[in-house]
Amino acid sequence: MTDVRASPPVRRLADWDPAELESLVDDYGSPLYVLDLERVRENYRRLEAVFPDADILYAVKANALGDVLSTLREEGAGLECASAGEVQRALEAGASGSEVHYTAVNPPAGDLDWIVDAWNEHPELTVTAGSEDTIDRLADRGYDGRLCLRVNPGIGAGHHEKVRTGAAAKFGVPAERAVDVLTDAADRGFDIVGIHAHVGSGVSSDQLDAHREFVARMGDLARDVEGAVGDLELVDVGGGFGVPYREDEDPLDLASVAAATRDAIGEIDARLTIEPGRYFVADAGVLLTDVNTVKDARDTTVVGVDAGMTTLIRPAMYGAYHPIRNLTAESDGGSPEREIVPQTVAGPICESGDVFCTERELPVSKREDVLGIGNAGAYGYEMANQYNSRPRPASVVLEDGDVRLSRRRETVDDVTRPERGARSGSRGNRKNDHPRATDTDNDPVR
């Protein structure tokens, strides 16, 4: 078992062996996602050590790869799911209903139908509703099981305005209405088990005051709710624990976050619950990509690679920084050291926003070099898409010194198959259908 005291609080891109990464492209092709499952375990154990009395759920949306879900379940994590598809993945990874929380945000009808069917088979599943409408829709489907209410505490934090959820109107019932909503739900026969909120994604150390205020509001609300509807099982304060993407950023002081959380929430009878996602997987992953074009433009050198915003959308969507290394330049010990020059690394998508960096100081790039893009384990493949009809990449995992293919590379045939299925009358075309794992026409990566 890994000793978390000997495990660094963050794994930088510079800590990966360049020759080993480059060899993976030789074996599995490019672009390629690489995920180190041992690092995922280390990150879980580090968080568990500072939150020994909390229930820890993994936010599946960060990386839903089956190997990740199985690894974190083995470590003791439950699974927090944002869609019916993620619940299906959780159950396929061996989770019991008691280990699964479904957190619905304006859930489609097909999702709710699927979830209620799953609840009939797994009655210990917990559903978190973020509106009175969702509670009504659950009741209409006969659901009266474990209900957690997502509330909006009116305070948000995170690395970008698009992910600061705690104050965004989209998320949760206003906190001042929570007691009335839960009282009504209890009168209607729901099993009220808790309250939930999430301040945002990628919370940094300098946002600790916002986190503390957010948790304090949740503690106050929990005491009000318990006074009105009885004891709660859980108070879920979400995740959002940030990781340093830039090389000069310090890692989050987890001990301080844990102490601030316990102090802010105060005395509650319910179990404190947290649900990190990014923290477990971000620095466990690297995206590998081949250089195919080097071009001297007017004001910069453009390095064209075969990964793009369809492979990793965070730079285009959030202006996010990811560290980049030229692995070939570093691993080629027999060649003269390459000059460091500013370069713009760009993908193959027909969009000017399809760039990973501009004017980044890197060793001179050559065609067929392999670049590594760091901190790609969270919201990398999960946000990958097929724009420009580009197939999604493969994924490999590292575990106990071995490498194995965890997700095969898509082909263009995979991209176009749903159209052929529609023309031939395959399932999955009806209103509100939710594709099951058996619907292979709708599941090209299985």
pLDDT of residue 442: 43
Whether 436 maps to a domain, the answer reads yes
Looking at the structure, do residues 398 and 434 belong to the same domain, yes or no? no
Looking at the structure, do residues 268 and 299 belong to the same domain, yes or no? no
Looking at the structure, do residues 316 and 204 belong to the same domain, yes or no? no
pLDDT of residue 337: 85
Looking at the structure, do residues 438 and 373 belong to the same domain, yes or no? no
Whether 314 maps to a domain, the answer reads yes
Q: What is the pLDDT along the chain (446 residues), one digit of tens a residue?
A: 445 546 889 999 999 999 999 999 999 999 999 999 999 999 999 999 999 999 999 999 999 999 999 999 999 999 999 999 999 999 999 999 999 999 989 999 999 999 999 999 999 999 999 999 999 999 999 999 999 999 988 764 434 343 344 456 677 899 999 999 999 999 999 999 999 997 765 455 566 777 788 889 999 999 999 999 999 999 999 887 889 999 999 998 889 889 989 999 999 999 999 999 999 999 999 999 999 999 999 889 999 999 999 999 999 999 999 999 999 999 876 567 899 999 999 999 999 999 999 999 999 999 999 999 999 999 999 999 999 999 999 999 999 999 999 999 999 999 999 998 787 765 555 665 666 554 444 443 33
Rounded distance between C-alpha atoms, residue 195 and residue 270, angstroms: 10
Query: Domain end: 276, 310, 336, which one?
Result: 276
Query: Domain end: 276, 298, 327, which one?
Result: 276
Whether 1 maps to a domain, the answer reads no
Looking at the structure, do residues 111 and 256 belong to the same domain, yes or no? yes
Query: Domain end: 215, 246, 276, which one?
Result: 276
Burial (CB count within 10 angstroms: exposed 0-12, middle 13-18, buried 19+), residue 436: middle
Q: Residue 344's beta-bridge partner residues?
A: 302
Whether 34 maps to a domain, the answer reads no
Looking at the structure, do residues 259 and 173 belong to the same domain, yes or no? yes
pLDDT of residue 119: 98
Buried/exposed code over 229-262 (b: 16+ C-beta within 10 A; e: otherwise): beebbbbbbbbbbbbbbeeeeebbebeebbebbe
- Binding-site members for pyridoxal 5'-phosphate are 240, 275-278, 379
Looking at the structure, do residues 127 and 254 belong to the same domain, yes or no? yes
Instruction: Name the domain count of the chain.
Output: 3
Whether 83 maps to a domain, the answer reads no
Looking at the structure, do residues 225 and 163 belong to the same domain, yes or no? yes
310: CATH: 2.40.37.10
Q: Residue 152's beta-bridge partner residues?
A: 174
Rounded distance between C-alpha atoms, residue 443 and residue 269, angstroms: 43
Whether 39 maps to a domain, the answer reads no
Tokens standing for 292?
């195919």
Looking at the structure, do residues 108 and 237 belong to the same domain, yes or no? yes
139: CATH: 3.20.20.10
Whether 265 maps to a domain, the answer reads yes
- Binding-site members are 240, 275-278, 314, 318, 351, 379
Amino acid identity, residue 398? L
Beta carbons of 434 and 95 less than 8 angstroms apart: no
Whole-structure pTM value: 0.91
Whether 119 maps to a domain, the answer reads yes
Max distance between CA atoms of the chain, in angstroms, equals: 76
Range of the domain at 369: 283-407
Looking at the structure, do residues 258 and 392 belong to the same domain, yes or no? no
- Binding-site members for substrate are 278, 314, 318, 351, 379
Looking at the structure, do residues 241 and 289 belong to the same domain, yes or no? no
Residues noted as catalytic: 350
Looking at the structure, do residues 307 and 207 belong to the same domain, yes or no? no
